[in-house]
Amino acid sequence: MTFKIAFIGLGAMGQAIVSRIIQAGHSVTVHDLSAQAVNATVEKGATALEQGVPLGSDKNLVFVSVSHADIMEKLICEEGGLLDGMDEGGIIVDLGTTPSGQCRQLAKLASAKGKVFLDAPVSGSTPWADAGTLAMMVGGEEQSYQRVRPILSSFANKIHYLGGSGNGQLLKLCHQLTFVSTITGISEAIALAEAHGLKAKMVLDVLADCVAPRHVIDFMLPMAENERFDQGRGTLKLGHKDLQAVKQSAEDVSLKLPLAEELLGYMDKAMKEGWQDADLFALVDMARDEFYATMKSR
């Protein structure tokens, strides 16, 4: 089957994924509110969506890569959105991080209109996308997944099909819970060590040889060497949003997650204190600030 592909959402990750799809020999029509982002992908071989043309018009495969689930749902469901504009049997692939229950609902709405919705969040950042080595978790109709898998393989080399709609997002939320809790734990470990006169790099060098999760240490070691923990690629507000989705998915099945709730409370505090646009790894700096504030109050 020949796919007529569109891609909505051209952040750093979206642009890298579009480039990989084009390099694999496919034509891609792109759309984003940022003209600069659109122009950057057009320079790499994409085609810009013409003004006034409905989203998904004459397309049978549309990727959506936006940072908020409500925006994604609006793009799909609003009048003139993807469910109205795409070809019959068209496939929508959600690459963002979305509550699993919302994905199941979108899959039902898509099916009622003769379309297919796949949740296919990714793990990794822009360098992984550039190299085509993202990890991906997919939920939804298996036949449709198998049809689009060759396209997915152009930018993800570790793809896990997990069954029904929402399952891909559920596993992504499990990943995010683990990832953010690990960063938070390491951040507090650094603050504790520094309070006793040790350096952040000492902590990370030791943890790297122990049982702490390897990838988080790999991210943080260069930052410790530069003594700057603001050099990652994700913002704290996105980590906060992901933990909110974790909470919602737990509430959907009346499940209590004490650690996740504690982490969300910690992130709520960070947001209120103005850290929302800081890098997620700046949790180290937040933990440090709390130590210094405690010392001053003594």
Write out the two tokens for 190.
Answer: 């650094």
**Cα–Cα nearest to 34, from 26, 24, 23, 42:** 42
Q: Can you give the three-state secondary structure of 204-224, one letter per residue?
A: HHHHHCCCCCHHHHHHHHHHH
Active site residue 172: yes
Catalytic residue, chosen from 4, 172, 241, 247, is 172
Q: Which of 9, 2, 120, 10 is nearest to 61 (CA)?
A: 2
Secondary structure (3-state) at 231: coil
- φ/ψ (deg, to 5) at 156: -130, 130
Residue 122 CA to residue 133 CA, distance in Å, equals 10
Q: Which residues contact 92 (CB under 8 A, 6 or more apart)?
A: 62, 64, 76, 82, 86, 106, 110, 115, 116, 117, 118
Residues 6+ apart with CB under 8 A from 201: 221, 224, 225
First to last CA, the chain: 70
Name the token pair of 36. 């600069």
Task: Determine the distance from the C-alpha atom of residue 158 to the mean position of all C-alpha atoms in its chain, rounded to a whole number.
Answer: 16
Q: What amino acid positions are annotated as catalytic residues?
A: 172
